[in-house]
Homo-oligomer: A and B are copies of this chain.
C-alpha cells in the first residue's frame, strides 16, 4: 500500500469516528449481536482460511522459523470460536461507557457544567498471531464508539481477512451503523504510516512481544497504551507461610509461563525459615531456578525462575522498584504491616498480597473484557477495559453568561454539585 492509500484510510476512519461517537447504544449492541450471529453462521469460511494459515505456518515451524507456541496460538478450533462469539455477546451486555455523567456542577444560577464520557477517536491496533484478537478488539471499539485501524500478524492474514470480512459486511447491513468504523491493513509499511499519522490516530495499542511494543513506542508521537516487558516479582517475606508460598509461586510460574503476568524473579527474605523446602518444591514443579544478576531484567516466558536472597523488606521493595516492569508484583507474608508497606511502596500497576500475579487480567478483575494491560503512568494502568478507551468532555450550558461579571465582582460562583 502507498502512503496516500493509508492516508485515505486514516481520513475515513477519522470521519467514521465522529459518526460512531453519536450513535445510540442500541445500534452498537445490535451490531455486536449481528456480528456474533454471522460469525457462527459463516464459521466454516473462517476455519477454511485458518487452515490455509496453519499449512503455511506448519512449513515455517518445520524450517524452524516459527515456534510451536505461536503455531498453537494461531490455531482456531471450535472451543476458541465459541469463546470468541460469546466474548462479543458479553461485550454487548456491558454498560455503555460513552455518555456517562462523571460530574454535574452548578457554577452559578442557570450555569451548569457537565463532565461527560466520550470516545477517544481513532485507535490503531497492532497485534501478532492470535486471530481471536480481531473480533475482541472490534467489539470493544464498537461498544466504546471508537473507530479502529487493525494491523494483524502476517501468519494469520487469511484468518484475519475472513473474520474482518464477516464483521464489516455485518456492519454494512446494520441499520444506522456508520461506514469505515473498522479498517484493516496488512504490511510493515502500513505500521510505519500508522505511527506517523498523529493528526488522525489518537491512540496506538500494540498487543504482542517486547520487540514489537518497544519498536512502536520508539517510533511514534501518538500515545501508546500497553506494556513491553512483563517482569513480575514475588517476595517471600520473613513470615511467609510456606504452603502459600509454594502454591502461589508454582501457579505464578507454571500455570501459563509465557503470559506477561507470570513471575520472573523470586526474592526471599534471609530470615525466612524454609528456604530449602521452598526451592525444592519449585524444582519438583519443574521450575529451573537461576541465581544470577543478569536475570534481574530478563523475561524468560518459560519455566525458569530467577531468585535472590534479600536482607529486608526495604531491600525487596528497592529491588522491585528498580527491576520490575511495573506490571504486577506480589508479597507473601503473614505480617499485615509488611504487607501494607509493600502495597504502598511498590510502584506497579498491580501490587498483591498472598495472591498469584496471574490474577492481573481484565476478565479476572471483572471488567468483562480487556484491550490489554498497561504499564503506563498516565491515562490507564493495569488491565484496561472499556473505560480506558474513553476520555471526557466538559459541556457548559448557560443563559448568556460572561466571565467579566465574575472578574468585576458583580457575580460570585456557587460551585454546587448536583
A residues near B (Cβ < 8 Å) are: 18, 21-22, 105, 107, 111, 113, 118, 120-121, 202-203, 217-218, 221, 223, 225, 241, 243-244, 247-248, 250-252, 255-256, 321, 339, 343-345, 347-356, 358-360, 364-366, 376-379, 381-383, 391-404, 406-407, 413, 415
Contacts and interface: CB of A to CB of B under 8 A. Distances in A.
A221 B415 CA distance: 37
A377 B255 contact: no
A221 B120 CA distance: 20
A235 to B, nearest CB: 14
Nearest to A392: B381
A402 B356 contact: yes
A350 B413 CA distance: 18
Contact of A255 (B248, B352, B382, B407): B407
B251 A366 contact: no
B344 A22 contact: yes
Contact of A398 (B352, B401, B415): B352
B352 A395 contact: yes
Contacts of A358: 402-403
22 contacts: A18-B321, A18-B347, A105-B365, A113-B365, A121-B347, A121-B377, A223-B376, A223-B379, A244-B400, A250-B402, A251-B404, A348-B393, A349-B394, A350-B394, A351-B393, A353-B397, A353-B398, A354-B398, A354-B399, A355-B402, A364-B406, A378-B391
Contact of A223 (B111, B223, B392, B400): B223
A415 B413 CA distance: 42
Contacts of A251: 402-404
Nearest to A342: B395
A339 B397 contact: yes
A393 B350 contact: yes
Given A107-B359, A350-B393, A402-B255, A22 B345 contact: yes
Contacts of A365: 105, 107, 113, 394
A24 to B, nearest CB: 11
B223 A378 contact: yes
Contact of A400 (B111, B241, B348): B241
Contacts of A355: 111, 396-398, 400-402
Which of A120, A218, A256, A393 has the largest count of B CB atoms less than 10 A from its CB? A393
B366 A107 contact: yes
Contacts of A107: 359, 364-366
A147 to B, nearest CB: 12
Contacts of A359: 107, 111, 396, 398, 401, 403
Given A218-B221, A381-B393, A391-B378, A403 B345 contact: no
